[in-house]
Copies of this chain bind each other. A is one copy, B any other.
Amino acid sequence: MENPTIYDVSRLSGVSTATVSRAFSNPEQVREGTRRKVYEAAEVLRYSPNAIARAMARQRTDKIAYLICKKDATLLDEFYAAICEGIMGKAYRSDYQLLISNAEDWRVTVGTAQSKQIEGVILGGNAPAELVTELQSQKVAVVLVNHRLAGLELPCVISDEREGVRQAVTYLLSRGHRRIAMLAGRLQPYVAGARYNAFLEVMAEHGLRVDASGVKMCNPDVEQAAQAAAELLALPDRPTAILGANDVIAAGAIKAARRMGLRLPEDLAVVGFDDSSICTMLEPALTSVHIDCRRMGELCMERLKALLDGEEDIPRVTVVPTELKVRGSA
């Protein structure tokens, strides 16, 4: 038998295909004895239902996609990888299968959605509004992670950037720092902007003005960050603490400090953001604002599932709390 079908099982077990079908998808609807007969026949034939045919008949595929809208490194960015792990765990536990693709291929994903293979999409990174509306017009459920789009009706899951910055800054303040500089990131509009604005805000609350010499923009690249940090540290009134917009940038700051012979945390305190795996590898270990990315991924999946289940009153934005992990660098 090349590929046993439901008909083969039906014949061998002596019941109709309808009953075989039920035995597999709604066992409680078929009587014990009948069910056993069906399972036995299936066993003998090594039958297992063809999901494609099932999808066709049921008009649902049980597949969702995680699309990372980002140039270059996508999964290599720990942030997105961790979110992915969160999604993955929850998805499989909810009997959804997970497709994955990156920005480069987003047209492909739209195509996939159009062709009704995907029920929902989780968009990571800077998803263009156009993409969202296109997906929604295909009746695909959409959830946004780590990004916000004005004027669109869809759930999004974000981390509490503002609170994270507040935690970092107040900690530094509590340690007596007053000249706190920030190395802000550039490439990820939403997150970078949120962190930067929060920094200005929190500083202002404490009556500290941040002038041009207190902030530098740089790309998330160690060497570029190191250079920017070096410039900050070369100022006459150099900062005693630096907040990096993410851990890579903070690592750059540490490099710069080392090269200038500054001791950490005595001469300079450095705080990062994201609490990625590099934090503990650095010496001294990097104090960083922890973001529970895995949890964010799980929440995305929960929201998506709610959407797919047609639930009402799904929260528009879900904010995941941050936590400052104090380590040696500050």
Contacts and interface: CB of A to CB of B under 8 A. Distances in A.
- Interface size classification for chain A: 35 or more
21 contacts: A48-B114, A49-B115, A52-B56, A63-B99, A75-B84, A75-B85, A78-B78, A81-B81, A88-B100, A88-B102, A92-B108, A97-B99, A97-B108, A98-B99, A98-B101, A223-B280, A248-B277, A254-B283, A259-B283, A277-B278, A278-B281
B115 A51 contact: yes
B101 A88 contact: yes
Interface of A: 3, 48-56, 61, 63, 73-76, 78, 81-82, 84-85, 88-89, 92, 97-102, 104-105, 108, 111-112, 114-117, 222-223, 248, 251-252, 254-255, 258-259, 277-278, 280-283
Nearest to A95: B108
Copies per complex of this chain: 2
A73 B293 CA distance: 13
A138 B122 CA distance: 31
B56 A117 contact: no
Binding site secondary structure of chain A? helix
A88 B89 CA distance: 20
Contacts of A259: 283
A278 B280 contact: no
A194 B281 CA distance: 25
B92 A48 contact: no
Contacts of A101: 88, 92, 97-98
Contacts of A104: 89, 92
A188 B73 CA distance: 25
Nearest to A84: B75
Nearest to A47: B114
Given A3-B116, A48-B114, A74-B88, 7 more contacts: A51-B117, A52-B52, A52-B116, A78-B78, A89-B104, A99-B99, A281-B281
A97 B115 contact: no
B115 A48 contact: yes
A117 B281 contact: no
Contact of A76 (B81, B92, B255, B278): B81
Contacts of A117: 51-52, 97
Contacts of A99: 63, 97-100
Nearest to A72: B85
